[in-house]
Structure 1
Amino acid sequence: MSPTTRRRALTTLGAAVAGVLGMPTIARAADTVPKKGRPLARAHAHNDYDHTRPLLDALDHRFTSVEADIYLVDGELLVAHDPVDLDPSRTLESLYLDPLARLIRAHHGSVHPGEPVPFQLLIDIKTAGGATYAELDRRLRPYRSYLTSYAHGAVRPAAVTAVVSGDRGARAPMEAQRTRLAFYDGRLTDLGGPAGRSFAPLISDNWSLTFGWAGAGPMPSAQRATLHRLVGTAHANRQRVRFWSTPDLPGPARDAVWTELLAAGVDHINTDDLAGLESWLDAHDRGR
C-alpha cells in the first residue's frame, strides 16, 4: 500500500470510528462561511467546542459569540469542558485562532461575510488564572492584527474581541498590563465600579443564582425590575450583559426566559441549542 493510500485509509477509518462512537470530529475550517442572513448579534454559543464542528457550526447558524474553555497543560492551551476530555490535538489555535484568522482574511476583515460585524471569543480559563493567562497572552500575539486591543488607555477595535472569563486569578495580571490583546469578563459586582468597558466590556453572571425565576409562570415584577436595572446600568457604562445557567431545554420555560432577556436588552443569550436560538431570534428579535 502506498503512503498516500495508507493515509487515506487511516483518515476514513478515523472518521468512521468517530461516527460510531458518537464523538465530535474536528473539520478544518473552510476558507469562507456562506452568507445565510444577517449575523445574530445576541447569539452566544455556550461550550461551543462540544459541537461537531467547533466554531463552524456556530457560524453556520449566524452566531456572533462563542465560548471556549481552556486548560494549560505542558505549555499548551487545550480546549475541553472537563480534564478527562483533554486531547493534545484540540488546542485554542487549531479550533479557534487559526480558523478565525483564515475567515477574516477570506472575508476581507470580518469573521462573517458582508459588512463587518463584531465577533466575540469568550475564553473560559479552567486552570490557575495567572499562569494560564500569561500563556494565553503569548499565544494571542501572532493574531494581533485580527484582535481588538488595548494600549495606553485606548481601545482599538478589530474583527475579534477576546474576553477572558473563568478563573479570577487572571484579573490582576491583566489590570497591570499597559497593552492587552484580551479583555475581562466582569461580574454584576463590577457594575458601577472602576472596571470600565476598556477593561471589562462584558458583564456576565449566573442567572439561577441571581434570579429565582426559571420560566414557570410570569416573572415576578421585582425580579423583572432588577433585571432591567442591571442591564440599564451596564449599558450606561457601554458594557454588554450575559447570563449563564439559563434554561436551555426546548419548551415554554426557556422561551419565557429568553423573552424576558430580550425585553430587558440583554446582549448575549446563552445556549447549546444553535438551531433553536437561531430560529427563535429570527422570529422575535427583529431589531438586531
Structure 2
Amino acid sequence: MKSFCRFTVLVVSGLSLVLSAGTLPAEEPAAEPLAQAHAHNDYFHARPLLDALDHGFTSVEADIFLHDDRLLVAHYQWQLKHARTLQALYLDPLRERVKAGKGSVHADGKPFYLLIDIKDGAEPTYAALTKVLAQYPEMISVVRDGKLEPKAVNVIISGSRPKQMMAAEKVRYAGIDGRWEDLDSDMPSHLMPLISDRWGKYFRWNGKGEISDAERERLVTAVNKAHDRGRRIRFWATPDTVPVWRVLQTAGVDAINTDDLDGLESFLRGQVAND
C-alpha cells in the first residue's frame, strides 16, 4: 500500500510540474479581425471559411448553383459535389462561431460579410436561397418593410442578381452587390450595401511603378461616392501585390479582394517590410 501511495504522489507531482511548465498544448488565441480583408472564391481554400477566419478575414465569397433543390458551392457546374452545400460550408459553421462569439463571428460585435455569387438562374436560385437564409434568423441581418435589423452576418448577392425581385420583398435577408454604374444610385444602402466591379475595367495600373494621379483620383472619387451613400466598395481581379494593396488601403476601399490569405494578412498587420 505504501508503494502504491508513493507512486500516486509521484504521478500527481509529475503532472503538476508539466502543467506549471506549460508543456501541455494550449488553444491558440483567435486572430484579430481585419476589417478590409475579403477572401475571393473562398471555397477554393483547403478549409472553406475556416482558413479565412483563422487569418482574421471579415468577408468571404462563395459561388453557388441550384442543383436538385440544393444550394451547392462551386465555381463551375462540373465541380459540384452534393456534400458541399452552402449550409455545410458556410452557414452552419458561421452559426457556431456566432454562438461562441457572444453574438458576432469574431466576438468583436462587428458584422461579418458573406458575399454569395449566384452562378445560374437568378430568380429560382435566389428563391431557394431565401428559404435557406430564413432558417438562420438569429444570425443573418434582415430588412422588414424597409427597416434594417442588423445581426452578426450580412449577406450580399452578387453574380446573377434578381434586382427587381429583391427590391419588392417585404422581408429580405440579403442585399444587392452593385456595380460602378450604381455609384450615383438613390437605392437605399440596406438594399444595395456594396459596390463591386472588375479593376481592369476602370484602371490600367497593374501595380508596377506608380499609379497615375488621374487614376488615383478616380479611385478616391469612387470610394467617396460609395461612402456618401452608406455603401462599401470592392474591386475584383486586382493584382495580389503589396503596391496594389497599399493603394487600395490608403484610398479607403472597404473590402480588399484576395486569393492570398497569408499575404494580405501580413500586409494588413504591418508585417511586410518591403515590396
If the TM-score is normalised by the length of the shorter chain, which range does it land in? Answer: 0.7 to 0.9
The reply to whether residue 136 of structure 1 matches residue 123 of structure 2 is no
User: 3-state DSSP class of the match of 1:97?
Assistant: helix
1:280 to 251, 256, 267: 267
Distance 1:34 1:194, change over 3 A: farther
1:249-278 Cα distance to aligned partner (Å, 9 max, x none): xxxxx2111111111100000011111100
Partner of 1:166: 159
Alignment partners' CA distance in 1, 2:57 and 2:198:
21
1:1-56 Cα distance to aligned partner (Å, 9 max, x none): xxxxxxxxxxxxxxxxxxxxxxxxxxxxxxxx954342000000001111111110
RMSD: 1.5
1:124 to 99, 117, 126: 117
Task: State the shift of 1:117 in Å.
Answer: 2.1
Alignment partners' CA distance in 1, 2:119 and 2:88:
18
Partner of 2:18: none
1:155-191 Cα distance to aligned partner (Å, 9 max, x none): 11100000000013x2111011021011110111111
Alignment partners' CA distance in 2, 1:147 and 1:280:
30
1:260 to 247, 250, 265: 247
Q: TM-score, normalised by structure 2?
A: 0.87
The reply to whether residue 87 of structure 1 matches residue 64 of structure 2 is no
Task: Work out which of the two has the higher radius of gyration on C-alpha atoms and give 1 or 2.
Answer: 2
User: 3-state DSSP class of the match of 2:134?
Assistant: helix
Alignment partners' CA distance in 2, 1:35 and 1:157:
27
Q: Which runs of 5+ in 2 are unaligned?
A: 1-26
Listed as ranges, the matches of 1:181-196 within 5 Å are 181-196=173-188
Q: Which amino acid aligns with 1:266?
A: V
2:67 to 69, 73, 77: 73
Partner of 1:100: 94
2:64 and 2:116 in contact (8 A); partners too = yes
Partner of 1:49: 43
1:190-248 Cα distance to aligned partner (Å, 9 max, x none): 11212221101111010011111111111011111010001001111111000001012
Tell me the matched-pair count. 246
Q: Which amino acid aligns with 1:274?
A: L
Q: Which runs of 5+ in 1 are unaligned?
A: 1-32, 249-253
Identity of aligned residues (%): 49
Q: Which amino acid aligns with 1:74?
A: D
2:191 to 199, 208, 213: 199
Q: Which amino acid aligns with 1:276?
A: G
Shifted more, 34-43 versus 238-247: the winner is 34-43
2:214 to 222, 233, 239: 222
1:37 and 1:62 in contact (8 A); partners too = yes
Alignment partners' CA distance in 2, 1:255 and 1:274:
13
